[in-house]
A and B are shown apart, each in its own frame.
Chain A
Amino acid sequence: MTRANAGAFAVLLVMALIVPLIPSDYMFDAILTPFLAVSLAALGLNLLAGYTGQVSLGSAAFMAVGAFSAYNFLIRVPGLPLLADFLLAGVIAAALGVVFGLPSLRLRGFYLAISTLAAQFFVQWALTTVDWFSDGDTSGVLTTPPLSIGGVTIDSPVRRYLLSLSVVAVLTLVAVRLVRSRAGHDFLAVRDNELAARILGVPVLRTKLFACAISSFYIGIAGALWAFLYLRTVEPAGFDLDRSFEILFVIIIGGLASIRGAFLGAAFIVVLPLLLSRAGGAIFGQTFDSGLVDIVEKIILGVLIIFFLRVEPAGLSALLARVPVPRLGFNKNFGSVS
């Protein structure tokens, strides 16, 4: 086991064994579970955008596909185990990812980004328009059914958190292995120079479509986690373009082509605003209008984003790697083969 892996493993141990002892529903339901879901989605997008260089603005659409697929499998297939349900949701998202990934064979850069908007708008339109997806529910906003795994009901904040953590941990491990494998090297080759990669014998078309599929698979499962373990409600409006941007910002701030960047970025985008808002509410809540406090928090967050990107344009992941703790720290290349 390398030092880098040991570091990640230590974090996981703390998250799995010590954090659940903290007696606070708020921390699990409002901070950690959404943090894990967004991290996973960002990890998925990073495989596509960071490692393979294909920018996508359709992440929220694939989250929606994952959430609605998970919902429909769960209510229409009796006795389907929850984990199999999540897996199927990921597979459906992956299949759609390949379809919407086809333009990437012809388009590049900004043009590709614009074409992925099609996925964003089409999926939201289809989910609002076709009643079948929402089981004919009159309002179109669905409440998720009760969940259980092998007789254990997932009904408390800590259980929802631990289930999210397990899913995210396993998928992260798979992603780490993937980017260090032949396929991962193909991703980077395609990103850095498509023509050179082709000449070196990298199957460019297959690599791009595989990246689309695996990325959408991750994002789809993230969507299912978001809907089932965090919000516990499924509605198309929650997966709008803003969410796609949010996930893109997570990987830009966290660090492109870096596994831990997805987690650091998600912490910055999801957790930091909450801490700011808590602080703002505690200090100014009684004297100022809550709307005003909210706007000030947004300004502070914006300033912090500019500050961090100024100090380290390659993201928080690169920033962390620069912190001088000789010999004991994370391996500089943890989660990254570039």
Chain B
Amino acid sequence: MSFRGLLLAGAVAFGLGTAVAQAQSAATPQAQYFPLQSYRVGPYAAGGTGFFGGFIDYMNLINMRDGGVNGVKLSWSECETQYIVEQGVECYERMKNHVPAPSAWNPLSVGIAYAMIPSITADKVPLITIDHGRTDSTDGAVFPYVFPLLMNPYSETSAIVNFIGSRVGGDDKLADKSIVVLYHGSPYGKETIPIYQLLAKKYGFKLQQIEVPDPGTEQEAQWLEIRRIRPDYVVLRGWGVMNPVALKTAQKTGFPADHIIGNVWSNSEEDAKPAGDAAKGYIALTTQATGTQYPVIQQIENTVYTAGKGDMADKSRIGSVYYNLGVVNGILNVEAVRIAQAQFGDHTLTGDQMRWGFEHLDLDPARVQQLGAAGLFHSIDVTCSDHEGHGLVTFQQWDGTQWHRISDWIAPDWALLRPIIEASADKYAAQNGITPRDCGKQVASNAP
């Protein structure tokens, strides 16, 4: 038997063991813990710093202004993922045994969220994928712990078509219109292809869907084809650098920016600003308005930033698209805590109790106003069977320096989409041996 072999193996085992032992954190009394798989470096850092900055600032506001939620302080720690799936999974493994236990996961990444679904379902801890994620996880009977809050990709598609309908003078006027969807050549970009086809059939508009290969720095060919088609509207389903390049190329080929409608991943300052002049007039969908005029954002500036505890290094980004999404995400998480506390008591809640909180997350416009977020987002009403929560969307136009809201709050056609979502969820359930819950018989689990 080799001495060095044993020595080596022993050293490896010992090293790993101590690394693990160090990870066990000390217990903190009465705190609600949020693990944050953030991304502050890498190509998507602009989105990550804005979103997680807004989320952290809102939690800080609750701790500083209210002393936590009914006396239970919010706590969190960050783990850098760079938007890479393996790093996100490693962060999940690292933080899942934290004491107190995680309340909910908010990775803001489709890839990381998918990789976590089996694990968080076994752990019974909610996974929040606000504005994105697996569309069929809207069906809470099959996905009890996954919440694509506010808007899933199908709803987004439907809302965009409804918005174009309102621009041309009613859905019945869509029949003689022509729409081109310019999508990113990735699973994300392709996800809504069948839904656009379905809506084209329903409303009778002419539809062409054109792919832009990743990363999308070269789009001459696609825009020449668009020029040939002469559509009334172009829907931009872009990602990253593809968005400003699309706007610039559109300008070169003479397509008007105010007839380009961006989706939720083409709607930030970082998408429009680099295109300079070409972006002026560009319209994009959002679930949360931009700006700092809302009381909740004002309070964050006055309470958190005045005390020097703000998370944003660049204060001018407060009120931007990603930042405000982070704040809205903070509101939804914190209100789920509050609602679950009303059911289970004002103490540290388990993941499963948080799931109950999210499934009863009902914030009507009056409650949203109480929270100081009127106009920031509309409302949400999550139930056991609907994990999206009937979020409304709005549209904003870029004036060259910032976004302005140009539409009312618009509702997607949920009734049309629901059967497709259920069919997909049922297929997932069959493949994975899941018996869907009966959402009619939902009872609260009182186990601590």
Contacts and interface: CB of A to CB of B under 8 A. Distances in A.
Interface of A: 3-4, 6-11, 14-15, 18-19, 22, 24-27, 29-32, 34, 75, 128-129, 134, 138-146, 230-233, 235-238, 267, 274-275, 277-278, 281-282, 285, 289-295, 323, 325, 328-330
B3 A328 contact: yes
B114 A141 contact: yes
Nearest to B194: A138
Given A10-B6, A294-B40, A329-B3, A140 B13 contact: no
Nearest to A25: B93
B19 A278 contact: yes
A14 B40 contact: no
A330 B93 CA distance: 34
A34 B80 contact: no
A290 B80 contact: yes
A106 B1 CA distance: 46
Given A26-B97, A30-B94, A6 B85 contact: no
A10 B5 contact: yes
Contacts of B316: none
B342 interface: no
A140 B97 contact: no
Interface stretch (B183-191, B218-226, B274-282, B324-332): B183-191
Contacts of A139: 110, 114, 134-135, 153, 187-188, 191
Nearest to A331: B2
B3 A325 contact: yes
Nearest to A330: B4
B432 A143 contact: yes
Nearest to A295: B41
B447 interface: no
B431 A145 contact: yes
Given A22-B16, A22-B20, A275-B19, A146 B433 contact: yes
B80 A140 contact: no
B15 A274 contact: no
A10 B80 contact: no
Chain B interface, DSSP helix/strand/loop, else mixed: helix
A7 B187 contact: no
B38 interface: yes
B90 interface: yes
Interface string B89-123: 11001101100000000000011001101110000
A290 B135 contact: no
Contact of B85 (A22, A146, A231): A231
Q: Decide if the interface of chain A is mainly helix, strand, loop or mixed.
A: helix
B41 A294 contact: yes
A328 B4 contact: yes
Counting from the closest, the 3 A-B pairs by CB-CB distance are A140-B187, A291-B40, A7-B5
A65 B376 CA distance: 45
A290 B40 contact: yes
B111 A11 contact: no
B13 A34 contact: no
Contacts of B185: 128-129
Contacts of A237: 85, 111, 186-187
Contacts of B415: none
Query: What interface size band does chain B fall in?
Result: 35 or more
Contacts of B343: none
Given A10-B9, A14-B13, A139-B191, A27 B45 contact: no
Interface string B206-247: 000000000000000000000000000000000000000000
Contacts of A10: 1-2, 5-6, 9
A294 B41 CA distance: 8
Contacts of A238: 85-86, 111
Interface in B2-33: 2-6, 8-10, 12-13, 15-17, 19-20, 22-23
Contacts of A294: 40-41, 80, 82
Given A128-B185, A138-B191, A231-B86, A11 B9 contact: yes
A97 to B, nearest CB: 24
B97 A146 contact: no
B265 interface: no
Contacts of A325: 3-4
Most A CB within 10 A of own CB, among B6, B93, B96: B93
Contacts of B49: 291
Given A34-B86, A143-B118, A291-B41, 20 more contacts: A6-B5, A11-B9, A22-B13, A22-B17, A24-B17, A25-B96, A26-B94, A26-B97, A75-B431, A138-B190, A139-B110, A139-B187, A142-B114, A232-B115, A233-B111, A235-B85, A236-B187, A281-B94, A294-B41, A325-B3
Contacts of B94: 26, 30, 278, 281
A4 B5 CA distance: 9
Contacts of B39: 291
B22 A282 contact: yes
A291 B80 contact: yes
Contacts of A267: 12
A129 B213 CA distance: 10
Interface in B113-159: 114-115, 117-119, 134-136, 153
B9 A15 contact: yes
Nearest to A291: B40
Nearest to A267: B12
B78 interface: yes
Contact of A14 (B10, B153, B428): B10
Given A30-B90, A278-B94, A6 B22 contact: no
Contacts of A4: 2
A336 B241 CA distance: 47
A26 B119 CA distance: 12
A33 to B, nearest CB: 10
A25 to B, nearest CB: 6
A7 B4 contact: yes
A320 B23 CA distance: 30
A19 B8 CA distance: 13
Contacts of B302: none
Contacts of B188: 139-140
